[in-house]
Amino acid sequence: MHPMLTIAIRAARSAGDQILYAMDKVGQLQITHKGNNDYASEVDRNAESDIIHILRKAYPDHGILAEESGGHEVNNDYVWVIDPLDGTTNFLHGFPQFAVSIALKHKGKIEVGVVYDPLRDELFTAERGGGAMLNNRRLRVTKQPGLTDSLLGTGFPFKNEQYLDAYLGMFRTLCIESAGIRRAGAAALDLAYVAAGRLDGYWEIGLQEWDMAAGVLLVKEAGGVVTDFSFRDKYLESGNTIAGNPKMHQAMYLAIEPHVTDDLK
Ligand code: IPD
Ligand code: CA
Ligand code: CA
Q: CA-CA distance, 253 to 66, in Å (whole number)? A: 30
Q: CA-CA distance, 205 to 238, in Å (whole number)? A: 8
Chain region(s) in the chain for CATH 3.40.190.80: 151-264
CB 168 within 8 A of CB 154: no
Q: What is the largest CA-CA distance in the chain?
A: 51
Which amino acid residue places its CA nearest to atom 13 of ligand 1? Answer: 207
Q: Let me know how many helices (H) and strands (E) the chain has, helices first.
A: 8, 15
Centre of ligand 2 to C-alpha 177, Å, is: 28
Task: Name the DSSP class of 210.
Answer: H
Chain region(s) in the chain for CATH 3.30.540.10: 3-138
Task: Name the DSSP class of 262.
Answer: G
User: According to the model, what pLDDT value does residue 13 have?
Assistant: 98
User: According to the model, what pLDDT value does residue 184 have?
Assistant: 98
Q: Which atom of ligand 1 is nearest to the CA of 159?
A: 12
Q: Where are the beta strands (DSSP E) in the chain?
A: 31-35, 38-41, 63-66, 70-72, 78-86, 99-106, 109-117, 122-127, 131-134, 137-138, 151-154, 180-182, 201-204, 225-227, 241-244
Convert the pLDDT of each residue in 165-182 to its tens digit: 999 999 999 999 999 999
Q: CA-CA distance, 155 to 18, in Å (whole number)? A: 26
Cβ(224) to ligand 1 under 6 A? no
CB 192 within 8 A of CB 224: no
Q: CA-CA distance, 226 to 8, in Å (whole number)? A: 23
Cβ(192) to ligand 1 under 6 A? no
- 41 pairs with which residues across the strands? 31
Q: Which atom of ligand 1 is nearest to the CA of 86?
A: 16
Convert the pLDDT of each residue in 166-222 to its tens digit: 999 999 999 999 999 999 999 999 999 999 999 999 999 999 999 999 999 999 999
User: According to the model, what pLDDT value does residue 34 have?
Assistant: 72
- 200 pairs with which residues across the strands? none
Residues of the chain under the 70 pLDDT cut: 37
Cβ(68) to ligand 1 under 6 A? no
Q: What is the pTM of this model?
A: 0.97
CATH of 151-264, one of 3.10.450.50, 1.10.10.60, 3.40.50.300, 3.40.190.80: 3.40.190.80
Nearest Cα neighbor of 242 from 123, 134, 264 is 264
Q: Which CATH superfamily is domain 3-138 in?
A: Fructose-1,6-Bisphosphatase, subunit A, domain 1 (3.30.540.10)
Which amino acid residue places its CA nearest to atom 15 of ligand 1? Answer: 87
Q: Which atom of ligand 1 is nearest to the CA of 85?
A: 16
CB 115 within 8 A of CB 97: no
